[in-house]
Chains A and B, each alone.
Chain A
């Protein structure tokens, strides 16, 4: 698990991370979103005990990053921003080298390396120099290195960047599998669809500060407001006969349908459908309006930029 309070890092006069507090439990995935230079990598480096916090504290896998750096690094698997592979080594040599760093037994090291290379489709090229690999293959090998010691906590910076869709799917499946085996995972990504698919908690960071954090639904409700629905009808209807359930707000009305907003769709929407049916309106479809993480992200960023400009 990962726990931080007021985690902050200052470089000179610049606060790269300013007061980030997180609680990520085993089996949860946190997606850290933000522009380049927002402080995501610095946060990950503090969680890996590579950088010491200027203020606040962090505990990773039960270890204080300030006091037990070595234990933290043993418990964490990191996929760094740059894959950082040794180009003159072969993939099996590379994984063997890192396996020894983590003091894995030769048997476990070999089995695990073979399994990972097999899973990521690298088994056939395991004896080739890494310098000959494609960008995607290098990324997969770097990910295999992060998973090699079967860590309790995974910190992944852009895990599927430079990968073809098939490989990216493979990686996402692996992340989902790790989540189900109670690993704590942090993903720094610009791929919002990936974050939407994988993350339990999403956090948006801007200029070192945590702008917003919560589940996808919480973020949508908080940023975009109550969900909107669109009702399509087969023909003109008598709007006077329509009684909107309590808590529902009509947004627009057309001859062939209408749009509304509702705080509790789970109770209000069935009532609306009954009302429409009883008033003999011929309903073609009732559909939730598009509310993506991208909308949330863009709105949050726009608002924070506006606040800063206003200030």
Chain B
């Protein structure tokens, strides 16, 4: 074993030994490992006799995979207890300082603790699943295919890594086990929702989609591990004694960063906004590249799927669609049907949605929302082409007038969200994770208030009062 990995294993092995000497860890783990498969088996037996009465074969087929998902999850919950106290527990017992005084690097300690959190509960989880499968094999139930089993084992592993990596981030940032336990709800609730989603996928029948869940959960876990290592500081484990929400400090830090020492609006634009924009150059380029991909994907989707949809709908529908969508005289009544403020609010809420989705997923979901929004453009472009409409002129008349304001606003806001995710997973020396988040949110708000909101306001006004006129003039000429 390479010397560095030996050190990681050393940390893990010591804690594993400690766990195997602690009945408080072993007993619940043993109970969860043995009792749940037995209970689940009894439940399956009852469910089979019930469902057979209604010939609900689809549910019967999915019952075992669903049970495996649940059985695998219960022992993993122990991983939370183990991981949550990994750093903060040692801090409370005073054992962390001698460990930190050794020549171990941060990542040795971090991965050592991560492995401890994952290994014990995961072994219990696998044992539990195997026990259940053995019991199921004695019944008239179908054991899932080996591919489905692989998926379920991987999903269980991904859940364990996700929960442990999140718990360790909390453990490093907390100052007491009590605080860490209270914060655990931020892990349990999202994972419970995730499992509900996975169960829906299982029963929905499209088991292939579970691969996406496996990949998605693993990516999120990898990002959490990255965040944990990036913001792991020995100093934080030793420096703080109590958790205090210092609202004054939060506000002072945020306001200082947001105002950037300026006293006038012009000065703020010259300093804070320009600086924030300069920091967004690379993210903007990245978002432009994503935009191109999104447009292409939307266009491709339209070209692949829309003809089939239209064909199924019939020629009358196609003719009605062309007429209603683009040739309606009601187009000039657009301001009466939707107001500029309403459009502005809608677009602003989309941008806020990108921020919120980005914040809970290190930008991944935020970028996904952005991709879908931009993809719509490509989709509409494809639809125009399929309908045999003059695509480019229609685009120039119907999208470009307000799009020149709206699209840059969307790109800038999304680039700022991307930067939040990137900076969170990047080591920031001398700054706590709280300071980093405050600065990033302030940066996002500078761009949002200084550039995005004005652009969206102009775009909404143009879309309501100018674009319909241009579009109608073009259509009349056509």
Is B a genuine binding partner of A? yes
13 pairs across A/B with beta carbons < 8 Å? Answer: A12-B249, A50-B100, A52-B430, A73-B101, A73-B103, A78-B98, A80-B94, A84-B96, A84-B97, A85-B95, A98-B98, A101-B7, A102-B102
Stretch of B59-67, B232-240, B274-282, B391-399 lying at the A interface: B232-240
- Is there contact, CB below 8 Å, between A50 and B3? no
- Is there contact, CB below 8 Å, between A50 and B97? yes
Q: A152–B181 Cα gap in the complex (Å)?
A: 41
A191 sits at the interface (CB 8 A) = no
| In the complex, residue of chain A having the shortest beta-carbon distance to the beta carbon of B102 | A101
Q: A51-B239, A101-B10, A103-B3 are in contact. Are A70 and B97 (CB under 8 A)?
A: no
- Is there contact, CB below 8 Å, between A45 and B14? no
**Binary contact readout A73-107 vs B (1 if CB under 8 angstroms, 0 otherwise):** 11010101111111011000000011011110000
Which of B14, B96, B105, B238 makes the CB contact (< 8 A) with A97? Answer: B14
- Is there contact, CB below 8 Å, between A80 and B97? yes
Complex interface: chain B residues within 8 A of A189 (CB) = none
6 nearest CB pairs, A to B? A82-B94, A101-B102, A84-B98, A74-B103, A84-B95, A78-B101
- Is there contact, CB below 8 Å, between A101 and B94? no
B311 sits at the interface (CB 8 A) = no
State which residues 187-240 of B face A: CB under 8 Å.
234-235, 238-239
A112 sits at the interface (CB 8 A) = no
B21 sits at the interface (CB 8 A) = yes
B404 sits at the interface (CB 8 A) = no
Distance to closest chain B CB from A15 (angstroms): 14
Q: A88–B234 Cα gap in the complex (Å)?
A: 24
- Is there contact, CB below 8 Å, between A70 and B98? no
Report which residue of B6, B22, B101, B249 has the largest number of chain A beta carbons within 10 angstroms of its beta carbon.
B101
A8 sits at the interface (CB 8 A) = no
- Is there contact, CB below 8 Å, between B102 and A98? yes
B104 sits at the interface (CB 8 A) = yes
Residues on A lying within 8 angstroms of B by beta carbon are: 11-12, 45, 48, 50-52, 70-71, 73-74, 76, 78, 80-86, 88-89, 97-98, 100-103, 142, 145
Complex interface: chain A residues within 8 A of B99 (CB) = 84, 101
Q: A52-B235, A80-B94, A84-B99 are in contact. List 19 more A-B contacts (CB 8 A).
A: A50-B101, A50-B234, A50-B235, A52-B430, A70-B103, A71-B103, A73-B101, A73-B103, A78-B97, A81-B97, A82-B94, A83-B94, A85-B95, A86-B14, A86-B18, A98-B102, A101-B10, A103-B103, A145-B98
- Is there contact, CB below 8 Å, between B7 and A70? no
Complex interface: chain B residues within 8 A of A52 (CB) = 235, 430
Complex interface: chain B residues within 8 A of A70 (CB) = 103, 105
Which of A78, A83, A88 makes the CB contact (< 8 A) with B21? Answer: A88
Which of A74, A80, A84, A88 makes the CB contact (< 8 A) with B22? Answer: A88
Q: A51–B236 Cα gap in the complex (Å)?
A: 9
Q: A61–B249 Cα gap in the complex (Å)?
A: 38
**Binary contact readout B245-272 vs A (1 if CB under 8 angstroms, 0 otherwise):** 0000100000000000000000000000
Complex interface: chain A residues within 8 A of B93 (CB) = 84
Q: A277–B426 Cα gap in the complex (Å)?
A: 82
| In the complex, residue of chain B having the shortest beta-carbon distance to the beta carbon of A78 | B101
Q: A89–B95 Cα gap in the complex (Å)?
A: 12
Complex interface: chain A residues within 8 A of B238 (CB) = 45, 50-51
State which residues 81-117 of B face A: CB under 8 Å.
93-105
| In the complex, residue of chain B having the shortest beta-carbon distance to the beta carbon of A142 | B98
- Is there contact, CB below 8 Å, between B235 and A51? yes
Q: A88–B23 Cα gap in the complex (Å)?
A: 12
Distance to closest chain A CB from B92 (angstroms): 10
Complex interface: chain B residues within 8 A of A80 (CB) = 94, 97-98, 101
Complex interface: chain B residues within 8 A of A89 (CB) = 14, 17-18
Q: A117–B6 Cα gap in the complex (Å)?
A: 26
Q: A100–B3 Cα gap in the complex (Å)?
A: 11
- Is there contact, CB below 8 Å, between B94 and A102? no
Complex interface: chain B residues within 8 A of A12 (CB) = 249
Distance to closest chain B CB from A222 (angstroms): 34
- Is there contact, CB below 8 Å, between B239 and A11? yes
| In the complex, residue of chain A having the shortest beta-carbon distance to the beta carbon of B101 | A78
Complex interface: chain B residues within 8 A of A45 (CB) = 238
